[in-house]
Amino acid sequence: MLNLSVILEDSANRFPSKEAFIFGETRLTFAQINGAANQIANGLKEKGIKRGDKVAINCLNLPYFPMVYFGILKAGATVVPLSVLLKREEVAYHLKDSEAKACFCFVGTPDLPMATESYAGFSQVDACEQFYVITSKPTDPSPIDGVSTLGMLMNGQSPVCETAQTSAEDSAVIIYTSGTTGQPKGAELTHSNLMLNAIVSSNIINTMSIDTQLIVLPLFHIFAMTCLMNAGIYKGTTSVLLPRFDAATVLGLMRDHKVTIFAGVPTMYWGLVAYENKTFDLEAISKNLKSCVSGGASLPVKILEDFEEKFKVKILEGYGMSEGSPVVTFNQLEVGSKPGSIGTPVWGVEVRIVDENGKEVSAGEKGELIYRGHNVMKGYFNKPEANAKALKNGWLHSGDIAVKDEDGFFFIVDRTKDMIIRGGLNVYPREVEEVMMKHEAVSMVAVIGIPDDKMGEEIKACVVLKDGQLVTSNDLMNWTKEKIAAYKYPRVIEYMDTLPQSATGKILKKELRKMG
């Protein structure tokens, strides 16, 4: 038997008075987080939630997230994390698709009325019977008439709980993929999947109980959930929570809390590199930082180099996906690292590059990255056709185009769906982006394919320039043309102030394609 909540219970026993989570002026110990999770579990059991039931959580990076997350697990139920940006129709879809019996949602802010939207979605799903508003303070009244709060659920419940006995292969979390094509699918991750990935992540990042990590990646996303929250709780690490990325705020928290571990997506590292610093002692911040980790999307080599020059800290880049719990490969300290690489397979995971017939290709040849191991999901919840396509003979087919070099390091070339076919020739956007990022005036670039009557698809670059820099479309086009094969350079360049991003900081190429 195994329940992922054992990591919290163990740290609460070993480090009861140690600070587990810091948010603003709020500081909560491992014992307090565990006690609150026990109260929530007891409340859910009293309300009829049992082993195997699904319970959704929609919450910003607040101490309430781990309390509710582990409370659900302790009750034996499965956690369904929801993006905080979902609108009512999307909430309804996720609750219905996951067969959720209950939903917790933070009240939100004036700019992000989470509870209002989520309750409207919840009201469309008859099978989801319970809704709890997470108010800013436990004693605050519910903003929705007749709807219970988290505080009301916890009130009078014992901070001691007998955790439900679950199997290692029971689903602990159903995490929804981004849904770049079609509706999002829920990847079922087991207690074993998430436990082993948290342990692997903590070893790679070298997480220790003396560390302080900053979590600005959203906790509803598998990257932050496994590699930071669960890995940190497993090791007894203190986590500083920040709901939204802002370069100045991040640097301030790094300084104030002597942060040793930071993980982000490429756009966050880009934001830290681009930040015009006149306030912070970067040398002092850098001295405390021991581990910086990037994932979620490919990190442009130029950003990696600029960050390491500015902060004097190496970024270790890894590769993962929701279906892989998430970590698949990583630039690991004991193995070595290569700029632009996603590293080598993590412990217990096997990775191959195969052609369209499933045959392994030689080093240096492009193909689809597939993997198998303890990290592979049970499958997409209630999606047998999608499972048949993604899971073959125990191997998960990622849909990512990659190469492996002679040293065994893997490099992502691009997403299959992002590949552009121009005049019958394959163009990988990442290759074009890496080249254009080297231009002195370019801050960030996203390359997409747009419909073209003659070529089928034409190459378009959406470019954000550095402050105070100017370059004409023709000049940038010609500069790129000199450095890349003639069929690969962009024929259309559009300058933008910002690029659309998801809640996790990924550049949304599907939104750029809609713009034309």
Phi-psi region of 156 (alpha: psi -120 to 50; beta: other; left: phi over 0): left
pLDDT exceeds 90 at position 341: yes
Residue 271 sits in the same domain as residue 369: yes
Domain finish residue from 140, 157, 184: 184
Note the pLDDT of residue 410.
98
Please, are residues 191 and 163 in contact by the beta-carbon 8 Å criterion? no
Query: Exposed/middle/buried for 460, CB within 10 Å: 0-12, 13-18, 19+?
Result: buried
**Percent of the chain at pLDDT above 70?**
99
Residues 66, 72, 73, CA angle at the centre, nearest 5°?
90
- β-bridge partners, 495: 463
Which of 33, 110, 38, 88 shows the shortest CA–CA distance to 64?
33
Backbone angles phi, psi at 499, to 5 degrees: -105, 140
Residue 1 lies in a domain: no
Note the pLDDT of residue 454.
82
pLDDT exceeds 50 at position 180: no
**Cα separations in angstroms, 345 against 15, 350, 370, 408:** 32, 6, 11, 9
Which residues in 483-496 are b (16+ Cβ under 10 Å) and which e? ebeeebbbeebeee
Please, are residues 205 and 293 in contact by the beta-carbon 8 Å criterion? yes
Residue 147 sits in the same domain as residue 206: no
Range of the domain at 479: 419-515
Please, are residues 469 and 461 in contact by the beta-carbon 8 Å criterion? no
Q: Percentage helix, strand, coil, to 5, in the chain?
A: 30, 25, 40
Query: Exposed/middle/buried for 63, CB within 10 Å: 0-12, 13-18, 19+?
Result: buried
In this structure, what CATH number is given to the domain that contains residue 482?
A: 3.30.300.30
Residue 408 sits in the same domain as residue 436: no
Residue 445 lies in a domain: yes
* Mean pLDDT, residues 379-392 taken together: 96
Domain finish residue from 415, 443, 464: 415
In this structure, what CATH number is given to the domain that contains residue 229?
A: 3.40.50.12780
* Mean pLDDT, residues 419-441 taken together: 90
Note the pLDDT of residue 417.
78
Contacts of 514 (CB under 8 A, 6+ apart): none
- In this structure, the number of other CB atoms found within 10 A of the CB of residue 315 comes to 23
Residue 101 sits in the same domain as residue 199: no
Residue 405 lies in a domain: yes
**Percent of the chain at pLDDT above 90?**
90
- In this structure, the number of other CB atoms found within 10 A of the CB of residue 433 comes to 22
- For 179-298, strand residue ranges (E) read 186-190, 212-215, 238-241, 261-264, 291-294
Q: What is the pLDDT of residues 207-254, one digit of tens each?
A: 999 999 999 999 999 999 999 999 999 999 999 999 999 999 999 999
Note the pLDDT of residue 309.
96
Overall number of domains in the chain? 3
* Mean pLDDT, residues 154-175 taken together: 98
pLDDT band of 178, cuts 50, 70, 90: low
Note the pLDDT of residue 419.
84
Note the pLDDT of residue 51.
97
* Mean pLDDT, residues 351-364 taken together: 96
Residue 249 lies in a domain: yes
* Mean pLDDT, residues 64-92 taken together: 96
pLDDT band of 503, cuts 50, 70, 90: confident
Separation between Cα atoms, residue 318 and residue 227, nearest integer Å: 11
Give the containing element (helix H, strand E) for 71: helix 64-74
Backbone angles phi, psi at 467, to 5 degrees: -55, 130
Residue 411 sits in the same domain as residue 423: no
Residue 398 sits in the same domain as residue 463: no
Query: Exposed/middle/buried for 1, CB within 10 Å: 0-12, 13-18, 19+?
Result: exposed
Residue 225 lies in a domain: yes
Residue 348 sits in the same domain as residue 383: yes
pLDDT exceeds 60 at position 181: no
pLDDT exceeds 90 at position 415: no
Note the pLDDT of residue 179.
53
* Mean pLDDT, residues 462-479 taken together: 96
Q: What is the pLDDT of residues 248-307, one digit of tens each?
A: 999 999 999 999 999 999 999 999 999 999 999 999 999 999 999 999 888 889 999 999
* Mean pLDDT, residues 322-346 taken together: 95
Residue 389 sits in the same domain as residue 460: no
Domain finish residue from 362, 385, 415: 415
* Mean pLDDT, residues 94-123 taken together: 97
Separation between Cα atoms, residue 495 and residue 305, nearest integer Å: 24
* Mean pLDDT, residues 69-87 taken together: 96
Residue 395 lies in a domain: yes
Residue 259 sits in the same domain as residue 376: yes
Residue 351 sits in the same domain as residue 299: yes
Q: What is the pLDDT of residues 28-74, one digit of tens each?
A: 999 999 999 999 999 999 999 999 999 999 999 999 999 999 999 99
Residue 277 lies in a domain: yes
pTM (2 d.p.): 0.90
Supply the mean pLDDT for the chain. 95
Residue 329 sits in the same domain as residue 436: no
Residue 250 sits in the same domain as residue 377: yes
Residue 423 lies in a domain: yes
DSSP secondary structure of 146-188: T-EEHHHHHTT--S---PPP--TTSEEEEEE---SSSS--EEE
Residues 296, 398, 445, CA angle at the centre, nearest 5°?
40
Q: In the 8-state DSSP scheme, what is residue 391?
A: E
